[in-house]
Structures are given as C-alpha cells and as structure tokens.
Amino acid sequence: MLSRTENFRLSAAHFEEFGCYTRYPINDMSSSNYMKFWREERRRCLEGYNLGFDWIPGYYYFYLNYSPIYIVESDKQVQGESRIRGERIKGFPKVWDGDYEYFHYLEEAEEKGSHAAVVKTRGRGFSFKGGSMLNRNYFLIPGSKSYAVAFEKEYLTSDGLLTKAWDNMAFIDANTIWSKRRQFKDKDMHKRASFEKIKDGIKIEEGFKSEILGLSLKDNPDRIRGKRGKLILFEEAGKFPSLLTAWQIARNSMEQGAVTFGTMIAFGTGGSEGANFTGLEELFYYPEPYNVYTIPNVWDEERIGTKCGFFSPEYLNTEGFYDEDGNSDIIGAKERELKERKKVIKGARDKNAIIRYMAEKPFKPSEAIVNLGGMVFPVADLKHRLAYLEANERIRNADYIGNLVIEEDGEVTWKISTSIAPINDYPLKPGALTEGCVVIYNHPYTDEAGKVPYGMYIGGIDPYDQDKSGTGSLGSTIIYDRINKKIVAEYTGRPETSKKYYEISRRLITYYNACALYENERKGIFDYFESKNALYLLADRPTLIDDIIQDSKVIRRKGMHMTVGLREYGEDLINSWLVEERNDDGKSTNLHTIRSIPLLKELIAYRDDINTDRVDAFIMTLYLEAEMRKQKVTKQSEIITILDDPFFNRNLFNKQSLNTKVFESNYQF
C-alpha cells in the first residue's frame, strides 16, 4: 500500500499554491539557496527521490512535479451506478499506484539493460508520461537524443505524443531554470537545444545540444536505422504493422555487445479498427528474444506462470475508485466496469462494438490484444488453446522433429534429428532462419501388412516459386488425418531453393500415402512433381469450385486457384471445422486437436492482406476434404477393368512409380 505519497510531489504542490517552484529570488542567480534548490531538483529528476520509507525513479519525479497534464476532477464522490459531472482541467499528476508500478518497471528495465513493452487501457495518460520522459532528457542530459516513433505522423502530432511534449516544454521554459533556446532546430518534429554564436565572423552552434526528434516510419521501417538515443518511444504500437522490423533495427543502434545504452518502449491500446497488434503482441507475450524486460503474467489465467511485458488494466486508477494516496479500489472498479459491460453487451447490435469496448477497457492483456479487422476465426478460443500449448512443455516435447529420407528401395522413412528446428514464430522475426523442417504430431497408421491405407491422409500445399522473397512468405504443406479429423504433420519453410521445398513436400505426402491439393497460381510445383513422375500425388481440380463460382474461366487439371469468393468459402470451411464437436467426449472441438503453435498464431492474426501460409495450406486441405466427401466410391472391379485396358499396358506406363493408386480416383474414400 502506498502511503504519504504527497511527499513525492512537494515541488508541484508549491507551484500549485504560489505559482512558482521556489520563493528564493529568481533574479539573484548567485543565491546559494536558489541554486541549491535547483541542483537538488535536477538530482531528483535524474536519480530519483528517496523518502526513507519509499522511493521513486527520476522519470517519475519529473513527471509528478514538472509535467502538468489534463486530469478529471469532480466535487462529488461516485456512488453505485450513478454518473456524476466533472471537468477536465490542467494540473499536476497525483501519485497513482498504476503509474507507480509503471515507472518502477521502466527503471528496472533500464537497470537491467533491457527495453519495455506495454499493453494498456485507454485514458491513463501514457502519451503525457511519454512526453514528460522526452523532456526530462532534453532539459537535463546534455547532448542526449530522444525519439518519438510512430507508423503515422498524426499519431505524434495530432494531439499525440509530441503535441503533449511541446506543451510540457513550453511550461518548463517558462517556469524553471532549465529553459533552452532552439535557434537551429525548432520544428513540429524536431527540436534541438542550441543557440547561434558568432566567433571570428563565423556562425557556430553552441548550447546544450540535446534533442527530441519525431519519426514516422510508415512503409519504411529502415528509417530508424542508426538512431542512437537515450530513449525511443514507439507510440500507438498496436497500429504498427512493421513494429518488429523497426524494433530489431533500432536495437542495433541502442545496444553494443552486452551493453545497452538506451531504452526502447513500445506501448499501445486495444480496440482500433484494423489495428495490427501482431508486433506488440509478440513483444509483450514473447519478450525475451527482443530484450524486453519480463515480469510474471498475473493477469491471464491461462498464462499464469509465464513471463510478459507490463500491463495497465482498466481497474487501476479509475476515476472515483482510489484513495488520497493513489491506492486503487480494485474490487469497486471491477464491479462498476462489469455493470457497464453488461449494458454494452445488451444494447450493442454490432459484435465488434462489444469487443472494441472490452479491448479499450481490458481486465487482462488478452482482452486488449485483438484485431477488429481480422477476427475471422474464434480468436478467444484460439488464444486459449495457444496459451495452453505454450504453458505445457510436455505436449510441445511430444512433437517429432526430423527429416524424411529415401532408402535404397525407394521407401520414404523417418529419421529424427536434434540439429534442426521448425519455424515456430509468427510473424517471422527479421533475419530469422527460414529453412524449417518437418514436424510430425502423429506418425501414419499402418495396417497388418505395414501399409498406410490410401485415402486416410490428405494434404494441402501453399507453394512458392522464387528462391528469394522480400515479403516473408513461406511455403507450407499440411497433412490431415481424415478419420480422426486432425492435423498430423506439417512442413513450413523456405529453404535455399524452391525445388528443395517441393522435394520435402513430395516426401511428406509420400510418407503418408496421401494426395494433396495445392494453390496452382505457382507453376513450379507442378513441373517438379511431373519431373519426378509424381503427379499422382497432386489432387485434381475440385469440381466443388464450380458450385461456388459460376462460369469460372480458370480451368487447370491439377490444384485450384484462389479468388475472393473461394477464399471466403475456405474461411467458412476452417470455421466449421474449428467449432465441430469431437465424438470422443462431446465437450472438446476440433480446435483442441491443433498442436501447431504457429498455425494458431496465424489463425488469430488472420486477415486477407497478410501472409498466413499455414492457414492457406489448411484451406487447401479442407477444400480437398470437402471434395472427397461429395464423390462416390469407385468399386474395385471397375478399377481392374480400367487397368486391363490395352492402353495402360504400353511401355509408357511401365515405370516403377506405376501402381493401382495412380489410376484410382483421388476421391475414393
């Protein structure tokens, strides 16, 4: 519990009462008391302030005492479900437990040489806090550079982070000894503390030379390269499609070997239409690879025991629900907010309105991290399954990792390997290895003769042709068990050549005695399988397409193309499959059979304008499954009659690969 917190903001209280920070004469710069006061204030702003029974970091002291913000005040107390009238006025921040925890988290991150990722509720003044941090460095650390970075410039200048920073700057210039001239750089995206001096007839730049710079990355995250600073703030990180790329580029400028000389902070709020939360979610839930300072996740029930970044929930610092020392009434705030949620749920006609409301006022990080533009699939259930797999090491260790090799007799066999690793990250980290490897969740069933029944397994392929890609796209092949209705294997990767990807896929399909439907906009896979006398492994064009798209002009013998209509139908196939109840217990659904962590991540993040290669491969798989369900079973006697035709006895067909399966319909089972 916080206590006697008014002692942390005595300078602000003095200004509120007298309109100045000290009563010592300002015109007597030689006054020992006057200068002693400002030296001590500078020390507190840089080193923090210790009261003996409690301590706050320097950034927080500066924020409390030198950074007026807009706060809500009312002369009445909130009672029950009532709403009261209040006003938003300019004043100094009060000490709140949520802010107290936040600034301590940042201090610990800086001390550990790490960075910070923050998921937050709306309306807690994080832009004010960020603007204050920029100014603290600008006014008190000579030569320092502090950056405010966003995907769009308007997030910084349109009542954004920099707008608040410039207001704070004007206040400090007018009311403290730390004022700075800006004769060389004084723009809306760049301010530099320096002045012009003429020496021997030459104009030179003198002064503190500290800077605050705004940077809009838009579609060019490389613009942040070489920006070495004391502080880099990523504003509206939940609306930052290229956040991870920019983050990794910036890290190279903020770290050298084991030494970190600058702090990066990404913070964002949920609930925005089309917001791209993938990057912020990655930094928050998987912080260690990005050198993000971790703390225990005590908010998401399904992730208890895991590590994450900092979360600012709705029930902390809620107006009317904290005491005079800033301690939040968590129970009261939660109860009131739950009543508000019920009103929204009851009155809203648009489901996105409900989700948006909860995302902007979350109780836990998983409520905030949503993408309203991309919720095609049941995100909440998918996230729960993902969290379960990530927290269950036993299940993850049950995956078979290895290679498929061809023996002398032509048989494809499995060889386990400890020197390779699958691609489990989504999105793919900048600079990550893309070779990938085969992952088997269940080896194929074999009958008494040791054979894999044909038709039990099918596959879907999302291929590629070019050996190099600038989009991060991978090839993905998925194998599906039709009897048990679950994914049993996958290969996702982009090895050094596309032919290597085709060959691994060919072996995987052969190992399961399957056939696979592929997206036929890429010609390379057809040519490769044809060169290997393996076209029988590729499924014919589904007749189902003609039921979905009338008068389709794209007619190819193998595979299928993807249009908007076909993709939408494929999304429906996945949705139906995910929610289909299992026969074994009547409680779980097919979703609970998924063991592929990256596939779950893709399904959660899915939109039609981003790369989701595993999802595309699964769409192909379920199209083939739907096509096979509508085909009639061919009698064995009919097959024999076909094979007895003299046409099939010519030398053209006397190849090792020739067997009964070649001439059976791909859709017999």
Report which DSSP code applies to 485: T
Average pLDDT, the chain: 87
* CB atoms near residue 351 (< 10 Å): 11
The single residue listed with the structure tokens 């800006």 is 182
Q: What is the pLDDT of residues 117-161, one digit of tens each?
A: 999 999 899 999 999 999 999 999 999 999 999 999 999 998 899
37-51, 77-91, 224-238, 376-390: least confidently modelled range: 77-91
Q: What is the pLDDT of residues 44-76, one digit of tens each?
A: 999 999 999 999 999 999 999 999 998 866 555
Q: Would the pLDDT of 665 be above 60?
A: no
CA distance 420 to 226: 33
pTM summary value: 0.74
Q: Would the pLDDT of 169 be above 50?
A: yes
CATH 2.40.30 correct for 399-573+616-630: no
Contact 95, 9 (CB under 8 A): yes
Contact 337, 344 (CB under 8 A): no
Give the C-alpha distances (Å, rounded to integers) separating 298 from 92, 310, 320.
31, 10, 25
Burial of 427 (C-beta count, 10 Å sphere; 0-12/13-18/19+): buried
The single residue listed with the structure tokens 């489990």 is 424
CATH of domain 100-368: 3.40.50.300
What are the sequence ranges of the domains in the chain? 100-368, 399-573+616-630
Q: What is the pLDDT of residues 401-437, one digit of tens each?
A: 999 999 999 999 999 999 999 999 887 877 789 999 9
Report which DSSP code applies to 182: B
Average pLDDT over residues 310-330: 94
Predicted pLDDT at 278? 80
Report which residue type is found at 274.
G
Q: 100-368 and 399-573+616-630 share one CATH topology?
A: no
**Nearest alpha-carbon partner for 244 in 269, 220, 280, 289:** 280
In 358-485 the beta strands, taken as DSSP E runs, fall at 400-406, 412-416, 438-440, 457-462, 475-481
Q: What is the pLDDT of residues 218-231, one digit of tens each?
A: 879 999 999 999 99
Percent over 70 (pLDDT), the chain: 87
**Nearest alpha-carbon partner for 420 in 401, 406, 439:** 401
Predicted pLDDT at 83? 54
**Nearest alpha-carbon partner for 375 in 359, 361, 391:** 359
